[in-house]
Structure 1
Amino acid sequence: MSAEIIDGSAVAKQLLAETAARAKAFTERAGRAPCLATVLVGQDPASMSYVRMKQNRSAKNGIDSRKVELPETTTTDELIAAITGLSDDPQVDGILLQHPVPEQIDERAAFEAIAPRKDVDGVTMHSLAATALDLPSFHSCTPEGIVRLLDSYRVELAGKRAVVIGRSPILGMPVGLLLLGRNATVTYCHSGTVDLADQVRQADVVVAAVGRPELIKGEWIKPGAVVVDAGYNPGNVGDVEQAVAVERASMITPVPGGVGPMTIAVLLAQTVAAAEASLG
């Protein structure tokens, strides 16, 4: 058996087409395009490249970009002031703080300066709590992208056992909450899990989001399980040993081309949704 490949690029392309149509309709109605503001602290090459990519993708889909660049020496208070200004600006619909930030900055405090209605990256405590309580909010983009991928491939989650490897507040934790909201039985695993292989072997759905190359061995995958590899490590290597897992799973996301394209597609979709909500 060879797993069906879950094509994140194709699903993201469809979502972006829908988002572009909504952005056009908003622009015609509001007299301006939806606007995503990106805040970048310092000159990290990877972060700068990522921000440029987001700006290019925004422009292609009818969304304006505003880039706020701050020096490496920026303090927490200075960053909060910049984000607060964007939160108060009626011309800005979504705010993205590019992370990681320099070590002198309290990243959590900076995230909390983002107004919940503009938290299109789903990083605030408000968004996480709303996700847990199944209340209206913007979800963290990668977890939301994962669930949309599973929906696109008609993966039934209710009653299934899902194992999430990873517990970060913007990926592992919220994706588990979203799966729980779909009536899956969710087990969180992490660096302190002593029986990781046994937990994975029991899973109908595996979400690997730990950031360690090929930590999840292919032989651990239960035959017929659905595997979502949300890891991205140097050399285009995921968190799952794909060469072996693909022979055991029923469906699997590739690296690259699986989860990654969905993240920015969801970010832009949620930016347009924030813009639409601003018109009431």
Structure 2
Amino acid sequence: MSLGQIIDGKAHALRLRADIAQAVIAAQAAGARAPALAVVLVGEDPASQVYVRNKIAACHEAGIISIEHRRDATLSQAELLALVAELNRDRQVDGILVQLPLPPHIDSAAVISAIAPDKDVDGFHPVNAGRLATGLDGFVPCTPLGCLRLLEATLGDISGAEAIVIGRSNIVGRPMASLLIGASATVTVAHSRSRDLPELTRRADIVVAAVGRPEMVRGHWLKPGCTVIDVGINRVAKESGTGTRLVGDVAFAEAADVAAHITPVPGGVGPMTIACLLENTLKAASRA
């Protein structure tokens, strides 16, 4: 690896979390109560359990109250919607997070739409998506918000930069494009049906890979000196021995020889996602 400078997401996230903890202390000194986040976990998905555990630990470190609601995978959609309605009414709850994915018999879109937009700290509600797309203030999904923070911390002003977002999901790709447009970048959104994806990518000063395919973006796709934000988290078999390892959507070793800056997997975008969730919860409490 001769060129690429690692963007340390852990270090950036720790600084943001420390700032949030100080803001919580200051708010309480001024008479406000501690922010409160309700976390709803349905079923026993192992990855979801890890994510929820990490989010709750981060809340405690920042002085944010976490209220867990764990339910069996047999929970009906009507029962889940009733729980969300109860949390919407609860004035002691500032943010609501329903951990995805939900069991297949539950319509995730219906549940997300049932969350009060002003408590939607995940930023997935259609109202918040619309606010972001039209440049209005609202809650921004945590992963793309974390990506933008890393870009701004690394590059400073990104106005005029040519950026490509590979992936068009409602959770990362689309909101990421809106954030980059808001920062005055020139944005291309690419996906599985894009023609000549390597050539499109090669034009970009900023590459955000969020397509969910292990090491799909190769080093020769990249413009020398670009900045790469790898959102992918893919578990693949180890090259030798047994077990698995985590890789991103970018072939890291190849890309690091071409890019000026690159996020690792793990330790890049992931820690910023949790830090931005805390930031959104603090924002919700401040509004309330």
Shorter-normalised TM range: over 0.9
Q: Report the RMSD for the aligned CA atoms in angstroms.
A: 1.1
The SS at the match of 2:225 is coil
2:172 and 2:75 mapped to 1: Cα distance? Answer: 26
Q: What amino acid does structure 1 have at the position aligned with 2:9?
A: G
- 1:111-162, Cα deviation, whole Å (9 max, x unpaired): 0111111111111111111111111101000000011111111343211211
Aligned to 1:76: 77
Match of 1:244 among 234, 254, 263: 254
C-alpha contact (below 8 Å) 1:202/1:222 kept by paired residues: yes
1:54 and 1:30 mapped to 2: Cα distance? Answer: 26
Note the residue ranges of structure 2 that are not aligned, 5 or more in a row: 236-244
Match of 1:267 among 261, 271, 277: 277
Aligned to 1:138: 139
1:30 and 1:169 mapped to 2: Cα distance? Answer: 37
2:39 and 2:133 mapped to 1: Cα distance? Answer: 26
Aligned to 1:209: 210
Aligned-pair CA distance for 1:30 = 4.2
Residue pairs, 1:12-91, within 5 angstroms: 12-30=13-31, 32-91=33-92
Q: What amino acid does structure 1 have at the position aligned with 2:282?
A: V
1:186 and 1:47 mapped to 2: Cα distance? Answer: 32
C-alpha contact (below 8 Å) 1:27/1:34 kept by paired residues: no
1:188 and 1:64 mapped to 2: Cα distance? Answer: 38
Aligned to 2:263: 253
Aligned to 1:154: 155
Aligned to 1:174: 175
- 1:13-70, Cα deviation, whole Å (9 max, x unpaired): 1100010011112233345311111011111122112111111111111011001112
The SS at the match of 1:65 is strand
1:138 and 1:189 mapped to 2: Cα distance? Answer: 24
Q: What amino acid does structure 1 have at the position aligned with 2:115?
A: I
TM-score (normalised: structure 1): 0.96
Note the residue ranges of structure 1 that are not aligned, 5 or more in a row: none
Runs (4+) of structure 1 moved beyond 4 Å? none
C-alpha contact (below 8 Å) 2:152/2:158 kept by paired residues: no
1:253 and 1:67 mapped to 2: Cα distance? Answer: 31
Aligned-pair CA distance for 1:258 = 0.8
Q: What amino acid does structure 1 have at the position aligned with 2:122?
A: D
TM-score (normalised: structure 2): 0.94
2:29 and 2:89 mapped to 1: Cα distance? Answer: 23
Are 1:101 and 2:111 an aligned pair?
no
- When structure 1 is superposed on structure 2, of 100-109 and 27-36 the one drifting more is 27-36
The SS at the match of 2:246 is coil
Q: What amino acid does structure 2 have at the position aligned with 1:64?
A: I
